[in-house]
Amino acid sequence: MSSTNRTLVKAAGFLMAAQLASRILGFLRESLMAGFFGQGSTTDAYNTAFVLPDLLYWLLVGGVLSAAFIPVLSEYIAKGKEEEGWRVVSSVVNLIFLTLGLLIFVGLIFTPQFLRLMVPGFVKTGNIGLATNLTRILLIQPLFMALSGLTMGVLNSYKIFWPSALGTVLYNASVIFFGTILANPAKPNSISGFAFGVVVGAFVSFAVQIPSLRKVGVRYYPIIDWHNPGVRRIGALAVPIIISYSLNQIQVVVNNNFGSSLLPGSITAVWYSYRLFQLPVGIFALAIAVATFPTMTEQAALKHWDKLRQTISQAVRMVIFITLPISVGMIVLRYPLIRVLFQHGHFTAQDTLTTAIPLFYFALGISSQSVIQILPRAFYALQDTWTPVILGIISMAINILAMVLLVHPLAHGGLAFATTIAAFANMLLLFYVLRGRLGRIDGWAMFWTSVKSLVASLFMAFVIWVWSGWLTPLIGIRTMASVIILVTGTVIGVLVFAGMAKLLRMEEFTQTMGLVQRKIGTR
């Protein structure tokens, strides 16, 4: 393994560990909320309240950060022009915060009108008032998230990843703390404690990065230099992303619009299952993508095309190798998984059955969703932001069409299945166009990794299914029994998949075991 690849693997390994800790806390947060408030109109209002704040963040920061900010700043650093890079950073930050502040002010005023448009079913259920109050609390979050995100972008450009990873852990810890001490199941409005924790957590996530930011020699200028070539380039790169995220919110609106007209708790069931679906994506795929992205931008800036192809291929193959067995395992063990995480307090056995439906359809798309954390970043590294946007718009149209067609026969399961269909379509489109751009992308290696991983995963699933089918009638389905089934099924699944991967002589298995052995050897 080359020194560059070893660096990427180490960075990705650290980010995976941090993401795992953060996701565990995230599920503890969701589990506590489920216990306090169950799965119904109150939690539907809470989950809906994130839509407008998230829209503002991704509209002005998230897309600009991933597609424009990091590539341009990384290029300045790679070429030894840091001073000029800081002037560009300052101009962009000032522009973002002026615009974001104005939009938050407008959002606070027109929150009720926005929600009536997005979730008309809430007007009938009387849920619109709670959703409005929660949204107004959460509208403070984008300011701190923007500070945190931009700081993360600067540090990632210097290939410093741990402060932002720690910030995500502290973010969830904050939500848990305030949500728990302020929750009162008899008072639905007390769910606002979780919203307050989100705002505090966003601030803490930013504050923990400040020391590292100072160490890299941060320089801030109170300027907005429209004529700076770097600012103009970031603006040009950001425009298609802004358009993309604006259009992507149509999917969110359509999803919530349909969900608000289904049985109470449907939006929450989709949200909880979506969180489980995003678990492997966030822990593994996003960690690998974040760790790989600065290297891809540097290789593209220096025109090292063979190294760029190798980096993309290795990242995609590792993601497929990790997420395919997780996808299959989650399908087989979805009932004990939901029981362990959520079924307590006000969250009932019927709620478990309701949540298992969208989880099945989401799990089918884990690998596709994971791969599309990496492929758009390859285009961003090439400073091509329009291609992923155009392909994303096509996928968005597929998603909306699928929701319209599937929501009636499959109810809230149709909303999840539509997301999976769109993710798969987006992945295929990205592969096809990227191959045209780079000439070749090591496609056969990725194909055979997928085939071997699928064969190993299906054999693993069969063994887990036989085991859980034998054990469940013996010990039942109560909480401790579900823990035993989940833990033993997972351990058996890991061992079976590892054995099959070794039998199939998968390169990814050898790399993973080599990394583990080196880690153990250094202790």
Write the pLDDT tens digit of every residue in 160-180: 777 877 888 899 899 999 999
CA distances from 328 to 280, 360, 372, 452 (A): 12, 10, 19, 14
Contact yes or no for 37/191 (Cβ under 8 A): yes
User: What is the pTM for the complete model shown?
Assistant: 0.75
* Cα pseudo-dihedral 371, 141, 385, 247, rounded to 10: 90
Tokens 């909880």 appear where? 272
| The predicted structure's pLDDT at residue 238 | 75
State the average pLDDT over residues 52-64.
77
Contact yes or no for 291/11 (Cβ under 8 A): yes
330-377 per-position pLDDT tens digit? 999 999 999 998 888 888 899 999 999 999 999 999 999 999 999 998
Q: How confident is the model at residue 14 (pLDDT cuts 50, 70, 90)?
A: low
How many folded domains does the chain comprise?
1
254-277 per-position pLDDT tens digit? 887 788 778 888 888 898 898 899
What average pLDDT is seen over the chain?
Answer: 85
Write the DSSP symbol of residue 159: T
Contact yes or no for 365/56 (Cβ under 8 A): no
| The predicted structure's pLDDT at residue 520 | 43
Contact yes or no for 392/353 (Cβ under 8 A): no
Is it the case that residue 9 has pLDDT exceeding 70? no
| Cα gap 297→78, rounded to integer Å | 9
Q: What is the DSSP string of 226-279?
A: TT-HHHHHHHHHHHHHHHHHHHHHHHHHHHHHHHHHSSTTHHHHHHHHHHHHHH
Return the number of other C-beta atoms located less than 10 Å from residue 179's C-beta: 23
Contact yes or no for 222/90 (Cβ under 8 A): yes
| The predicted structure's pLDDT at residue 515 | 52
| The predicted structure's pLDDT at residue 523 | 44
Contact yes or no for 395/426 (Cβ under 8 A): yes
Phi then psi for 373, rounded to 5 degrees? -80, -20
| The predicted structure's pLDDT at residue 458 | 96
Phi then psi for 461, rounded to 5 degrees? -60, -40
Residue type, 232: R
Report residue 60 as tokens: 């002005």
| The predicted structure's pLDDT at residue 369 | 93
Report residue 408 as tokens: 């009636």
177 SS3 class: helix
Element (H, E) at 446: helix 443-475
453-469 per-position pLDDT tens digit? 999 999 999 999 999 99
Phi then psi for 256, rounded to 5 degrees? -70, -30
Range of the domain at 458: 3-521
Which among 406, 392, 139, 373 is positioned nearest to 270, based on CA atoms? 406
| Cα gap 512→523, rounded to integer Å | 17
Kindly report the length of the chain. 523
Is it the case that residue 447 has pLDDT exceeding 70? yes
Is it the case that residue 398 has pLDDT exceeding 70? yes
Tokens 């959703």 appear where? 131
